[in-house]
Amino acid sequence: MAVFNSRGRSGKTARRLAVLVGLVAVVVGIVVQSAPSQSAKKTYVLGVSNTFFGNGWRDEMICSIKAQALASGVVSKVIVANRNTDTAGQIADMRKLMSAGANAIVINPSDVKKLNPLIKLAKARGVFVVSVDQRVTAPEAHNVTNDQVAYGRIGAEWLFKKLHGKGNVVEMRGIAGVPADTDRHTGFTAALKAYPGIKVVKSTFMGWNFATAGKQMLDILNSGVKVDGVWNSGADYTVITAFKTAGKPLVPIVGADNNEFLHQMLVQYPKLKAAAVTNPATIGGAGAAVAIKLLDGEKVQNWVKLTPLVWSMPGSK
């Protein structure tokens, strides 16, 4: 979860910042409640499989997993497989984690279905798999995610309403084929059906990479395409930078609760019509808490799902 720089924060802004802090509290609540009693004697090895290296959000996710493992008092070791790879690479990493003695594995999955056979094998061997941030469909797995369909839908609805139901929109997606991108696009498309006056003039895959998103937006603006609004799946602040570089007036934009984007919204460009959709990286710690509960023999619902919020300044609503 991004922490906003407090410079220039007004009283109203502080109250709205509390909404984001409250969302963190929801996730932290899951974590705290999961802590076992001090009398527990068993210790566990926790594996982590992440396929997207060098992204700040993913780094925070892994840190929150480690923090929860330490706070639990029952995790003796955390083994992290953290690299840029595809589904085949993630399968190989998960096999290595199992061979290294992981009792449970927290994954951020590269695919919604292709990991299922290995997840089934892991369960047969007594290894729990908890998928965070993005869902998997294996019945043997547990999911701890944001509602990614709602994430796409509510952000798009805010944008389309801000444009009064008509105009040219750019949809900037994440990584093609991964569960979160597919779900967010499903939500975006559902919202689009109710606004026939909105035209998607460009749809890109920026890979949740800030530099890529900025370059794509700059290329679109320099091509002469008229852009009235931007829906961005989370690599957002460089989009605003692209408008400034191109000398174009800022348009309504939807991004995520990233630190720099919030700074642009609240401090740098206070008149900017923008909204951030919440997607806390502390979901990783919540996933670790669920894994520990399962190892302790407790029952946990198969899908712990957070409800995202749209956060905007009063003048942007």
Strand pairing partners for 306? 146
pLDDT at 101: 98
pTM for the structure as a whole:
0.85
Q: Which is it for the CA torsion 254, 255, 261, 262, positive or negative?
A: positive
pLDDT value for 55: 84
What pLDDT is stored for residue 76 in this prediction? 97
Kindly list the structural domains of the chain, giving each domain's residue range(s) and its CATH number in brackets, ordered by start: 11-146+281-306 (3.40.50.2300), 148-279 (3.40.50.2300)
Q: Would you give per-residue pLDDT tens digits along the chain (317 residues)? A: 232 222 233 343 334 434 343 444 444 454 444 444 443 468 999 999 999 988 889 999 999 999 999 999 999 999 999 999 999 999 999 999 999 999 999 999 999 999 999 999 999 999 999 999 999 999 999 999 999 999 999 999 999 999 999 999 999 999 999 999 999 999 999 999 999 999 999 999 999 999 999 999 999 999 999 999 999 999 999 999 999 999 999 999 999 999 999 999 999 998 899 999 999 999 999 999 999 999 999 999 999 999 999 999 765 65
> Who's near 233: CB < 8 A, 6+ residues apart?
152, 172, 173, 174, 181, 184, 206, 208, 256
The pLDDT of residue 8 is: 34
Residues constituting the chain: 317
- Cα distances (angstroms) measured from residue 44 to each of 69, 72, 140, 150, 294: 9, 10, 19, 35, 11
Per-residue pLDDT at 54? 82
What is residue 249's predicted lDDT score, i.e. its pLDDT?
96
Backbone angles phi, psi at 238, to 5 degrees: -70, -20
